[in-house]
Chain A
Amino acid sequence: MREQPQTQPHPPPKPLLEVEQLKIHFRSRGRLVRAVDGVSFSVGSGEGIAVIGESGSGKTLSALATLALVGGEPGVVSGAIRYQDDTLQTNLLEGIEACFRQEQGTYKPTWKAEGWRSAYRERATALAGRKIGIIFQNPISSQDPLWSVGRTLSESIRLHNPKATRKEASQEAEHWLERVHIKNPAGVMRSYPHQLSGGMCQRVMIASTLAMHPRIIIADEPTTGLDMTTKAQVLYLLHEAREKYGSSLIFVTHEIGLISGLTERVVVMRRGHVVDQFATSDLLDVKMRGETLETSHEFAEHTQDLLRCSLALEERRARVL
């Protein structure tokens, strides 16, 4: 918590998900990679936060750790991931201290680690879909290529509501496709992922995530590779999900221009650390004058760099148009 600013911009509601001092390490060609090195952030119920930062800063990994989807050795080595709502309270990483011992700055797995990992996975499966839904960056490859979109959707629906028959599930699937503004739901239901465009597929993924009524939606760069119009539509869907279903949102992105209106708080990451946190409204009066950044808020140095780059890009784009 040391990197958090003293004054909280919004007094956050009771946090739904709390990640504390998360560390994820890998061994890669004999070297130790500290991909995530002590990250802490939290999301309240109904709150939206944006996670920004340069490539390789560990944004995706931190998100994946909340559902035990991090592969590789030794993986998650320390920290706490707490989820609490009215029905379920759990710390996914419970008991992690006994599984890794610290040795010259690195974490060595002990014999308990293997069993602990399956327990971690089991606890995460209880959260997956129903409590935390993840929307991935590449919508086409995140669906089974040999299953039609309709079957994939029905599968998530029946997972959420096991009593539904096949027919009911497929009707509900069609209904959800309508809700994400797909005009020809029956046709889309029958098609396979590679037959759809990226934007279409992303909408299907959002539908299948929303269909499980998650309390938290994690969107990991959901708009990469989409054109401006489709981008706007996807953002609108996320916005709508927050408005209509009261979900919290963790929005992972590179593009600072997208986060206003969608989130209330921004977390800036760099090289596996959280380097800055501020309210999205602080971004409103940021301007560029020549090479210097004009702002009323005191940003961390790295955030200033990010802002400068993104504003310079925007300026250049404005000149082109």
Chain B
Amino acid sequence: MSLALVLPRCPACGRFGTLFQRLHVLLRENPHLFFGLAFVLLLLASCLIGALYPYDPVLARMQGHPPLQVPSLLFWLNTDPRFWLGTDHSGQSLLILLIKGTQAFFFPGILASLLALFGGISLGAFSGFYGGWIEQIGRYLSTLINSFPNLILVLLCTTVFGPNVYLIAAIVGITFVPHIAEEIRRKVAQLKAEEFVMAAEAHGLQERRILFLHIVWLHCLPLILRQLVFLWSALIILETSLNYLGRGVLQKGISWGKMLYDYRSGLFRGEIWSPLVVTLVVMLTMSGLYLFAEGLQRWSQGKGVLHQEQPLDS
């Protein structure tokens, strides 16, 4: 039994196993995926918490203390977990701000993912499966999108249309269309020559069903997920750096980039703790997401040959 968490159940014995067993197996077989998955779940939980509890300045502010820049050991031992990451210059808990800040990526991220998925999958699947002039058009579109420098496009748009995080998300989504399309196109072109596709056609399956259910959904899913992870990390980086640059995407509300922007002036006064924490969290998020992507890659490579056991002849 291996990788039972991501494979629905063990085909050899037919059992699901307990959650603990499955996690244990996952940790052993694919630690990248294990830790990446844990990190992604943590991020999602933060988004959820942020969405469920509105920001409460009273709760977030430490009472009866002056704003604390660098928490000492004594401070860690004495106060409640809310302040374990310390506070910023105004005395707000960094932990709460960071958790609340993840929410800023959530809906833009979903918008970007949907755009990239829709464009990438349809472009990649059709040009890979049918080739010919459809592929030519797909290639042309991809080159067109790729030839625009990402950051400049975003800066241009925020200048023209005003700062809007959804606009940025849309641009990120569209810039990811060629990447997803190319990955899928390559995989589809490789798979359509396989015998099982011909056999499915010989059974009278609709072409669309073969293409989207068998080829794209079953065989390209890890690939698509991987690209989505890259998309999210690109979005987070872009949002953070844009806000830091002061091309304020968010005038109000809380986000990681906004936090960095707010702490910028303190940096020159030697108050490095809060920006350091935020930067470290961004870095950690990036590595967590890349870990997840790497795990997905390994999962997809191992998927075809898992469960190699004795032939099941009676």
Contacts and interface: CB of A to CB of B under 8 A. Distances in A.
B206 A192 contact: no
B196 A128 contact: no
B211 to A, nearest CB: 13
Contacts of A121: 207
Interface size class for chain A? 35 or more
Contact of B11 (A138, A148, A156, A205): A148
Contacts of B198: 64, 69, 136, 142
Contacts of A18: none
Interface string A145-187: 1111000000110010000000000000000000000111001
A106 interface: no
Contact of A129 (B194, B203, B218, B304): B203
B284 to A, nearest CB: 34
Interface core residue of B195, B219, B304 (most chain A CB under 10 Å): B195
Nearest to A68: B201
A240 to B, nearest CB: 19
B77 interface: no
Most A CB atoms within 10 A — which of B218, B312, B314? B312
Main SS of the interface on chain B? loop
Contact of B314 (A67, A136, A182): A182
A15 B7 CA distance: 48
B170 to A, nearest CB: 33
B204 interface: yes
B206 to A, nearest CB: 7
Nearest to A230: B313
A310 interface: no
Contacts of A304: none
Given A128-B202, A129-B202, A196-B313, A141 B194 contact: yes
Contacts, number: 97
Contacts of B203: 128-129, 133, 155-156, 159, 208-209, 212
A69 B312 contact: no
Interface in B185-205: 193-196, 198-205
B270 interface: no
A129 B210 CA distance: 15
A195 B11 contact: yes
Interface of B: 11-12, 14, 193-196, 198-207, 214, 218-219, 303-305, 307-309, 311-314
Interface of A: 64, 67, 69, 71, 121, 125, 127-130, 133-134, 136, 138, 141-148, 155-156, 159, 182-184, 187-188, 190-192, 194-197, 199-200, 205, 208-209, 212
The 7 nearest A-B residue pairs measured at CB: A129-B204, A128-B204, A142-B199, A183-B314, A197-B311, A134-B202, A141-B195
11 contacts: A64-B198, A69-B201, A125-B204, A136-B195, A144-B200, A155-B203, A159-B203, A182-B314, A195-B309, A195-B311, A196-B311
